Amino acid sequence: MPLHKDEIIECSIESLAFGGRGVARVDGMAVFVAGGLPGDVVTARVVKAKKRFAEAEAVSVVAPSPHRVKPRCPHFGECGGCAVQDLDYAEQVAQKAAQVENALRRIGGVESLSMDPALPSPAVWNYRNKMEFVFEQRDNKLHLGLRAAQAAGDKGLPPVVDIEECHLCAERDVEILRLAREFAQGSGLPAFDPSANEGFWRHLVVRHTALGEVMVHLITSDDEKLYGRAEGLGETLVDRFPELTSFIHSSRAKRSLAATGEKIEFRLGSRTVEEMVEHDGRQARYHIAPNAFFQTNTAGAGALFGAVREYGAFDGSETLLDLYCGCGAIGIFLADTVRKVVGYEISEEAVAKAWSSAKLNGLTNCEFTAGTLDGGDVLKGLPKADVLVIDPPRAGIHENTAQAILKLAPARILAVSCDPATLARDVKRLSEAYELKRARAVDLFPHTHHIETVALLERR
């Protein structure tokens, strides 16, 4: 019998899909249930019914899963920062590892695969080194916090929740958030409204490092007449938090909601902060700029980079080609085990910081180039390499990049991915010349649906 919208069903949740929804089977049809955990028996309301699958939201728990736990945060369920804080952490890791294996088999076409044991996060709470808080004007009031959880079937942008607690980040980060919210509310200036393309306050990004350095990056609209309010917030924060290493105010004219600035307008303290990643006796340091992407779990990054190092099995003679290298994080961490590191990244700012970080570590065998990997001269000019590292954005590697890799024909490829489905697609793209030998899920994001994967492909 087909399911219908708004129908109430009872079902048993078998597993967790990528994205955090429970997976049930009703008359042979897959039903993705928001709020359902593996082992639960729930009643659920169907919010979308298709021929091959349905989407639903849990209405009540008939029989709770043995893996259910009490959430730590009072905002859980309302705030969209966490998805599965009510699931035992060991089960979170097991479900994420199963998602990776399922994607590699189903999408990647990998028939013979024995996954290496998943690596859990070294810290389950307060692990995030960076938080992106968003301003919003709603009901004649300014809000600053995190986006609410998206209800099943809903579209559009969820409202901002004025969080007072967050157990993913440091308590000081939340204290900075509270003070910034109070200051902005008292400024008389509205938050940015993307639909009207007006308003001032946009994002507040708080970052801290393993070395104790703290950066606050405020992003506003580009109305120069109002910049004095942003400077006032910076001075207030520095006065209240003397440990603050850097306050950056940057402006953004584009309507898009990315938490990145386009032009630095004001600065107190350092231009960058210094981060350190360590694993198994190896340390690497990095200069992190305001807009830089860096793994948001510093201790977890050590585990991730250590897994890449293990899979690489380097003997010191290799030329390592690091595509989508960002600020050089992985290549710099591996540089002492190879002859040479050559990195490519589209962001010129990130490449500049990669050079700076290589110098910071006293490395002379690293070089980095800015350019797109989607096609053109950069792909044509890629040097021959023994080992290739790819750590692309969530969308995976471009088709032109995949073809360039096949022509380069490195002996080994070390693939790092934050999306199991696009990793599996890329493994399939390369399967004509490469065989997947090892894979391991690495959890850098406890209580969320995100998961990293490290995979080793060897030339056939």
> Do the annotations mark residue 185 as ligand-binding?
no
Write the class of the CATH domain 92-123+297-459: alpha beta
> Do the annotations mark residue 150 as ligand-binding?
no
CATH 3.60.150.10 assigned to domain 8-68? The reply is no
> Do the annotations mark residue 6 as ligand-binding?
no
Provide the pLDDT for residue 381.
Answer: 86
Provide the pLDDT for residue 250.
Answer: 98
Provide the pLDDT for residue 374.
Answer: 86
Write the class of the CATH domain 130-273: mainly beta
Provide the pLDDT for residue 2.
Answer: 81
Catalytic residue IDs: 418
Provide the pLDDT for residue 1.
Answer: 65
> Do the annotations mark residue 286 as ligand-binding?
no
Provide the pLDDT for residue 375.
Answer: 80
HEC sequence for the chain:
CCCCCCCEEEEEEEEECCCCCEEEEECCEEEEEECCCCCCEEEEEEEEECCCEEEEEEEEEEECCCCECCCCCCCECCECCCCCCCECHHHHHHHHHHHHHHHHHHCCCCCCCCCCCCECCCCCCCCECEEEEEEEEECCEEEEEEEECCCCCCCCCCCEECCCCCCCCCHHHHHHHHHHHHHHHHHCCCECECCCCECCEEEEEEEECCCCCEEEEEEECCCHHHHHHHHHHHHHHHHHCCCCCEEEEEECCCCCCCCCCCEEEEEEECCCEEEEEEECCEEEEEEECCCCCCCCEHHHHHHHHHHHHHHHCCCCCCEEEEECCCCCHHHHHHHHHCCEEEEEECCHHHHHHHHHHHHHCCCCCEEEEECCCCCCHHHHCCCCCCEEEECCCCCCCCHHHHHHHHHHCCCEEEEEECCHHHHHHHHHHHCCCEEEEEEEEECCCCCCCCCEEEEEEEEC
Sites in the chain below the pLDDT cut of 50:
none
Domain segments of the chain: what residues? 8-68, 92-123+297-459, 130-273
